[in-house]
Structure 1
Amino acid sequence: MDELKRAYEKMGLPDNASKEEVDKRYTTLMRQSRSRQRENPSGTDQADFEEVTRAYRYILNEENRKASEEFNQQEYGKYKKMAGSAEKVDHFWRYYKFHVLGGIIALILVIVGINSYMDHRAEQERLAKLPPVDLSIMYLGEYYMSDSTGKQTTEADIETALLAQFPEFKRFKVNFTYVPLDAKDQMDIASQQKAMVVLATERPDIYITDTAAFNWVGPQGAFMNLDSIADFSNLLKPEDSYKQKTEDVPDEHTYGVKISGSSILSNIPIQGKDNFIASVREGSKNTDKAVQFIEKFLETK
Structure 2
Amino acid sequence: MKRLIATLRTMSSKKEQIDYIWEYYKLHIIGSISAIIFLGIMVGNIFDEEEKVFEVMVVSEASLSVIEQVEEDLSDHTFDAFTLFFEYIQHKGGKVEESAYQQMQKMSAALSVGQIDIIITDKALAKQLIEEDLFLPLSEVIDLNQINQEDYQLADFETNEIYGISTKNAAYLDAPTFDDTFILVPATSRNQEYVQEVIDVLLP
Interval containing the TM-score (normalised by the shorter chain)? 0.5 to 0.7
Q: What does residue 57 of structure 2 align with?
A: 138
The 3-state SS of whatever aligns with 1:272 is helix
Q: CA deviation at 1:193?
A: 3.1
Task: Map 1:119-138 onto structure 2 (within 5 A).
Answer: 132-138=51-57
**Structure 2-normalised TM-score?**
0.60
Answer whether contact 1:224 1:280 (CA < 8 A) is retained: yes
**CA distance, structure 2, for counterparts of residue 131 and residue 195 of structure 1:** 24
Q: What does residue 154 of structure 2 align with?
A: 241
Q: 1:284 aligns with which of 178, 185, 189?
A: 189
Q: What does residue 164 of structure 2 align with?
A: 256
**Structure 1-normalised TM-score?**
0.43
Answer whether contact 2:169 2:179 (CA < 8 A) is retained: no
Q: 2:180 aligns with which of 275, 278, 287?
A: 275
Q: CA deviation at 1:273?
A: 5.8
Answer whether contact 1:259 1:276 (CA < 8 A) is retained: yes
Q: CA deviation at 1:283?
A: 2.1
Answer whether contact 2:166 2:179 (CA < 8 A) is retained: no
Unaligned 5+ segments in structure 2 are 1-46
Computing the radius of gyration from Cα coordinates, the structure with the larger value is 1
Q: Number of residue pairs matched? A: 153
Q: What does residue 230 of structure 1 align with?
A: 142
**CA distance, structure 1, for counterparts of residue 53 and residue 104 of structure 2:** 25
Q: For the structure 1 residues 142 and 256, does the alpha-carbon distance in structure 2 shift closer, same or farther, using more than 3 Å as the test?
A: same
Q: CA deviation at 1:133?
A: 3.0
Q: For the structure 1 residues 141 and 129, does the alpha-carbon distance in structure 2 shift closer, same or farther, using more than 3 Å as the test?
A: same
Q: CA deviation at 1:189?
A: 4.0
Identical positions, percent: 16
Task: Map 1:26-37 onto structure 2 (within 5 A).
Answer: none
The one-letter code of the counterpart of 2:59 is L
Q: For the structure 1 residues 276 and 139, does the alpha-carbon distance in structure 2 shift closer, same or farther, using more than 3 Å as the test?
A: same
Counterpart check, 1:196 vs 2:108: no
Unaligned 5+ segments in structure 1 are 1-127, 148-152, 246-250
Q: CA deviation at 1:190?
A: 0.7
Q: What does residue 175 of structure 1 align with?
A: 87
The 3-state SS of whatever aligns with 2:144 is coil
The 3-state SS of whatever aligns with 2:203 is helix
